[in-house]
Amino acid sequence: MTRIQRDASAHRQKLLNGLEAKLGYTFTHRDLLESALTHASVGDGAKRKAGASDNERLEFLGDRVLGLMVAEALMEAFPDAAEGEMSQRLHGLVSRETCAAIAQQLGVGPALRLAVGETRSGGRSNLTILGDACEALIAAVYVDGGFDAARKAFLPLWQPHIRSGHDRSHLNPKSHLQEWAAQQKLPAPKYEVVKREGPDHAPIFTVAVGLEGYDPVSATGKSRQDAEKAAALRFIENEGLN
């Protein structure tokens, strides 16, 4: 191993150790952590060298683990809430935007394994990539240590969002934005799909919301509806309309 390779390996270990420290969880099987941080753009040779697969399967599992974890927390936090309200809260809390925010809090971006082209195009700060990696991390902890370990590592990161996510702007951002526009005597917000990428079975939509007199704001989601809600919420947060 050359000096450059040794330095790169030491830097990699430092990043992984830092991520484990922030999670408060040490992996028994480090390959799970590596897989959770490996984007599908990474070539097969690089994956084999790292002893990892990409994170798509873990992301699939993590989405389900996160849903159960947050649903349990909502049941405890809002014992009198109706099912419809709980569903709205859950939708926002497991959204790509929230997962990406948690990933940024953990410092996931620098630890991601990405193809060179993906890195150059800003992949380390891409909300879709960060959100998927966050869900994959949840699954990695779940597979390595069980549901209790995943809940202990991640639920504290979600608690501030659970406590603050009760306002209507987060529960139904599109309706909130439309009503605000009407109050300002503005035309209704307009939503436009500006990009659709990914395979047919797992597309990623980027939607921009436009409102007269304001710059368009865009966000991503696994469906057009999710992307529209995320864009509306981002607009609300950017303009301080909560």
Delimit the domains of the chain by residue range.
3-166, 171-239
Pick out the residues of the known binding site: 59, 132, 135
Q: What CATH class is the domain 3-166?
A: mainly alpha
Does 3.30.160.20 match the CATH number of domain 171-239?
Answer: yes
As a whole number of Å, the end-to-end CA separation of the chain is 54
Torsion of CA 233, 23, 55, 62, to 10 degrees: -60
Count other C-beta atoms under 10 Å from residue 10's C-beta: 10
> Does 171-239 match 3-166 at the fold level?
no
- The predicted structure's pLDDT at residue 116: 87
User: Which residues participate in the annotated binding site for Mg(2+)?
Assistant: 59, 132, 135
Please give the model's pTM, rounded to 2 decimal places. Answer: 0.71
Give the three-state DSSP class for 152. helix
Ramachandran assignment for 195, one of left (phi > 0), alpha (psi -120 to 50 degrees), beta (any other): beta
pLDDT along the chain (242 residues), means of 10: 70 91 95 94 74 88 97 93 83 84 92 89 87 96 98 94 64 83 92 89 89 92 85 85 69
Residue spans of alpha helices (H) in the chain: 3-23, 30-36, 44-50, 56-77, 83-93, 96-106, 116-120, 127-145, 147-164, 168-171, 173-183, 224-239
pLDDT for 242: 61
> Which pLDDT score is estimated for 171?
61
pLDDT of residue 110: 93
Q: Which of 171, 162, 170, 150 is nearest to 69 (CA)?
A: 150
190-197: strand order across its sheet: 190-197, 204-210, 217-221
Spatial contact of 227 and 206, defined as CB atoms under 8 Å apart: yes
CB 42 within 8 A of CB 23: no
Assign 28 to helix, strand or coil.
coil
pLDDT of residue 176: 83
Angle at 182 between CA 179 and CA 186, to 5 degrees: 135
Answer yes or no: are the C-beta atoms of 229 and 236 closer than 8 Å: no
Question: Which residues are part of the catalytic machinery?
Answer: 63, 135
The pLDDT of residue 233 is: 84
Structure tokens at 164: 């603050």
Q: Rounded to whole angstroms, how far apart are CA atoms 118 and 99?
A: 20
